[in-house]
Structure formats: C-alpha cells, structure tokens
Amino acid sequence: PLDIDNIQADILTGMFKKKELFFFLAKLVSDIVPLVTSTSEILSVKTQPITAVNIAFSNTGLLAIGLDTNALGDSDFVAGQFSDAGQIGDDPCLWNPAFTGTKIHGVFLLASDTLVNIHDQLAKIQTALGSSVTEIHRLQAGARPGPEEGHEHFGFMDGISQPAVEGFTTLVLPGQTLAEPGVFLLGERGDPFQESRPSWAVDGSFLVFRQLQQLVPEFNKFLTDHPLGAGELTPEQGSELLGARMVGRWKSGAPIFLAPTADDPVLGADRTRNNDFNFFVESSESPDPATEIKFNQTRCPFSAHIRKTRPRGDLGPSEDTKNFIIRSSIPYGEEVTPAEADSHTTSVDRGLAFVSYQANIDNGFVFLQESWVNNQRFPFGKVDNTIGVDPIIGSLEGGPKSISGLDPFVPCPDLDDCDGQKDPESDVIIQRDFVVSRGGEYFFAPSVTGLEDIAAA
C-alpha cells in the first residue's frame, strides 16, 4: 500500500471542505513542514484538522531554495505554464498578470468549512513565515450553495469520475480503471522515471493549476438560443439536451450514454452505475459479428467533454492509463446575479479553480488539452474526422468552433451508419468560448518527508 502518512491530502482524496483558498506567493521558506496535512490525517475524523493545508512549489520556488529542478525530469514543469500558453490553446493576453512569466514561487491550498478558519490559519502561516512570504495572488474558491453543492458553475455535477489508484483505492467502482500509482506519484510503480527521480521527489505529484473563467449567462443564452429536437421536445428540454450533449452528462451527473433522452437523477447519484459505460454500442441490426460492436455518437457525441478527456473504449478494449489525471477542482466566484442573468452578460468573475495531479505534466494535463481537447480530429479513426474541439473547454484561439455530432435529431448523426456522408448543416457552431483561461502555473506538491528534505536544502 501507499504511505498515506507521507502523501499530501489533496492529491488522492481532496480535502473534504467547502471552502478553499489558493494563496500564491513568492519567497517561500522552510518553516512550513509541520503545517502540512497528509492523506491519512484527512481520512480520519479524529485527525482531520479544522483547516487543512497543502503546499506546492513552482520551478522558480524550488530553484530559489537551491534545488536542481532538472533532476525532476519534467520539462513542462521547468519551463512553467506561461511558456506553454500557446501550445495549450491559451491567449496569453487574457492571463491574469499574476501568472504571466515565472514569478510565482509556490501556492498554499487552505481548506476549511468557513472563511474565518481559513483566514486564521493564513494569519498563523504569515506570522510564522514573516516577511519571507510575499502575496502575489489569491483565489477564494468554495462549493456552490444549497442544492448546487458539488456542481460547477454551468450547473453540472462534478467530481464523479476519478481513476482508481493501486495501493490506495479499496473499492474499485464499475467504470473506474485501476491505474498504477506512478501515473500520479513520482517514484512509484508505473512511473517511467521511477529509478531516476531524486529522493526528495518520491511520493510527490505535479499539480497543474488553472484559473478557468466561466461565462455562465452567455453559456445559458447559447443553450436557450439553440434548442435541439424542435417539434419533438419543448424548447427547455431541447436546451437542456444540448448542454448535456456538450458535457456528456446531465446536470445531475447521469451519463447521456446511459440516459440519452432525459436526465435521470437517480442514476446520476448512484456511484455504482453513474460511471459504468464504455461508449460501446451493440448493434442488433448487424449480422456480421465483426461489426457487431462499434462506436458511434448516437448516445454520446465524440466531442463531448467527458469523451474527449477520457475516451474509454474508443481507443481500444483495454484502457491505457498513461494519460490519467486526478482532478481536485473547485468553483470560485459568486452565483450569477439577476442583473447578469437578465443581460446575458458576465460582470462578476467566476469559474473553476482547476487542479489536476499527475506524475508527468506532458502525459497528463498538457496531453489532454493539446492532443485530445483541442484536436478537431480526436477521437481518431472515426468515419467523421471533423469532430471538432471539446465544446466546453476546447478553444480555437477564441474563434468560432464547428462541432459535429451534438444534435442527435439531424439525419444521420451517426456517420458510421451512413458511409461518412455528413450533412455540414448538422454541425453546431459555437461562436465564442464559454470557458476562458486566465492562466495558471505548474507546481510540485512534495511528500511530507520530501518537504522536510526541501526545507533542509
């Protein structure tokens, strides 16, 4: 089993709190070791702190401490996220200045049930570290209120599908794939650089942080203006269906592959069923066993966010776990105001404080964003090779996006069934991005003992 006393809490489990502050700083020093919350601490009610603290360093931060960051073996980390902006489809002009360049040294993740607790803990940290900490940016995040808890700002249930981790996950749920721990934790089994990681890096993980603004009133207006299934569905149902086809799940979390026509909240809430699908479509019409099982987009578009980011069976019968990430994102910003809803225009910044953990940034976040999400031909090998980008987070430099397969009512949405004769009119055109990257940084979240070594460096 993994040494969960040694692994920071947010990586494998998240921190189980409603509020979370991301505190970005410069000039990080050593007296922080005792403040950090481990996975085992967060897992037991007895040891769970009032405010959990995790910490991660950027390349700049580790260099300032005097460590050889090239030894970590991750060129994306060493270069920093700003230098990847073009590659991952971001417009650097839209980045928050805090993230441009490589000035951030580290980030504290402070999680608790109240803001008062978080601010108390932050004050303690600042007192302990004194002038060695300079604030560069902070992002207050938190679960949305009432029944929206657990849902991101567009309204969809989040945090459903996560990889199972060998040596940690005790119950693998249907639809989960077990990955070796080295996909997420450096120096563990399955890490291709297992032997060459420096000892201080073992059991740490790369944390990719992204401040992803969501234009919620604009997104809702788009859905209202383009309902699917005219004549068959009410406009409300048609708009809800379009949103669900873009994500691949209904707002309740129910996967459209299993509930193609209407939301099914019971399915959405059932952890034994809500992730149990592989995008296989069994065809009863085909007499030829070789073509009996196939993949099409009748029940879920190829471009749907969850299919782009985890194509499951699309890539072959046994799922490759190399590009898996563990997500620990949380919404930031207030609820949409009546004035914003009425004017269909965002005036208050809100979105997702995106966090992913992986042992190799190029295989994890960067690969997903560049090679799958923003690649108009992915998933490959389909009759339709103009699938389009991911309609939720894909971007063509902010320009219009033409996406096929979203509308199940057009003739032949299923190109496999009609010899690739696609009606270009069937594409849905999205004129603007509803998720806008405000930037981010790559961090390294060391283990507890790794942090002691770093502090002693």
Q: What's the closest the beta carbon of residue 375 comes to ligand N7H, in angstroms?
A: 12
Binding mask 423-452 for ligand N7H (x = CB under 6 A): ------------x-----------------
Residue 310, interface with ligand N7H (CB under 6 A)?
yes
Q: Which is nearer to ligand N7H, 110 or 304 (CB)?
A: 304
Cα separation, 301 vs 81, whole angstroms: 30
Binding mask 188-217 for ligand N7H (x = CB under 6 A): ----------------------x-x-x---
- Tell me which residue has its CB nearest to ligand N7H: 161
Q: What's the closest the beta carbon of residue 97 comes to ligand N7H, in angstroms?
A: 21
Q: What's the closest the beta carbon of residue 362 comes to ligand N7H, in angstroms?
A: 13
Phi, psi at 79, each rounded to 5°: -75, -30
User: 384 to 403, contacts with ligand N7H by CB under 6 A?
Assistant: 392-393
Burial class (CB in 10 A: 0-12, 13-18, 19+), 12: buried
Cα separation, 258 vs 174, whole angstroms: 13
Cα separation, 388 vs 377, whole angstroms: 6
Residue 406, interface with ligand N7H (CB under 6 A)?
no
Residue 159, interface with ligand N7H (CB under 6 A)?
yes
8-state DSSP, 100: S
Q: What's the closest the beta carbon of residue 435 comes to ligand N7H, in angstroms?
A: 4
Dihedral Cα 328, 334, 340, 346, nearest 10 deg: -50
**Segment lying near ligand N7H (by CB under 6 A), choices 91-99, 108-116, 151-159, 294-302:** 151-159
Among 139, 207, 352, 403, interactor with ligand N7H by CB under 6 A: 352
Q: Which is nearer to ligand N7H, 121 or 211 (CB)?
A: 211
Residue 165, interface with ligand N7H (CB under 6 A)?
no
Q: What's the closest the beta carbon of residue 178 comes to ligand N7H, in angstroms?
A: 13
Q: What's the closest the beta carbon of residue 276 comes to ligand N7H, in angstroms?
A: 11
Whether the Cβ atoms of residue 395 and residue 433 lie closer than 8 Å to each other = yes
Q: What's the closest the beta carbon of residue 198 comes to ligand N7H, in angstroms?
A: 27
Among 161, 239, 358, 447, interactor with ligand N7H by CB under 6 A: 161
Distance (Å) of CA 102 to CA 62, 69, 111, 140:
12, 14, 25, 22
**Segment lying near ligand N7H (by CB under 6 A), choices 89-97, 150-158, 264-272, 288-296:** 150-158
Cα separation, 89 vs 48, whole angstroms: 39
Active site residue 158: yes
Residue 273, interface with ligand N7H (CB under 6 A)?
no
Tokens of 277: 């699908």
Q: Which is nearer to ligand N7H, 252 or 296 (CB)?
A: 252
Size of the site for ligand N7H (CB under 6 A): 28
Among 249, 299, 350, 422, interactor with ligand N7H by CB under 6 A: 249
Whether the Cβ atoms of residue 378 and residue 241 lie closer than 8 Å to each other = no
Out of 158, 191, 407, 416, pick the active-site residue.
158
The per-residue DSSP string of 273-302 comes to: TTT---S-EE-SS---GGGSEE--SSSS-T
Cα separation, 96 vs 60, whole angstroms: 18
Per the rule left: phi > 0, alpha: psi between -120 and 50, beta: everything else, 2 is beta
**Segment lying near ligand N7H (by CB under 6 A), choices 193-201, 256-264, 313-321, 363-371:** 363-371
Residue 358, interface with ligand N7H (CB under 6 A)?
no
Amino acid sitting at position 219: F
Cα separation, 143 vs 147, whole angstroms: 10
Q: What's the closest the beta carbon of residue 355 comes to ligand N7H, in angstroms?
A: 10
**Which residue in this structure is represented by tokens 């459903």?**
160
Cα separation, 390 vs 381, whole angstroms: 17
Per the rule left: phi > 0, alpha: psi between -120 and 50, beta: everything else, 143 is beta
Residue 152, interface with ligand N7H (CB under 6 A)?
yes
Residue 244, interface with ligand N7H (CB under 6 A)?
no
Distance (Å) of CA 29 to CA 131, 133, 180, 196, 389:
10, 8, 33, 26, 42
Residue 121, interface with ligand N7H (CB under 6 A)?
no
Which residues are within 8 A (CB) of 1 and not within 5 positions of it... i.e. 6 or more apart?
167, 168
Q: Which is nearer to ligand N7H, 394 or 450 (CB)?
A: 394
The residues of the shown chain that bind ligand N7H, judged by CB under 6 A, are 152, 154, 156, 158-161, 210, 212, 214, 247, 249, 305-306, 309-310, 325, 327, 351-352, 354, 365, 368-369, 373, 392-393, 435
Active-site annotation, residues: 158
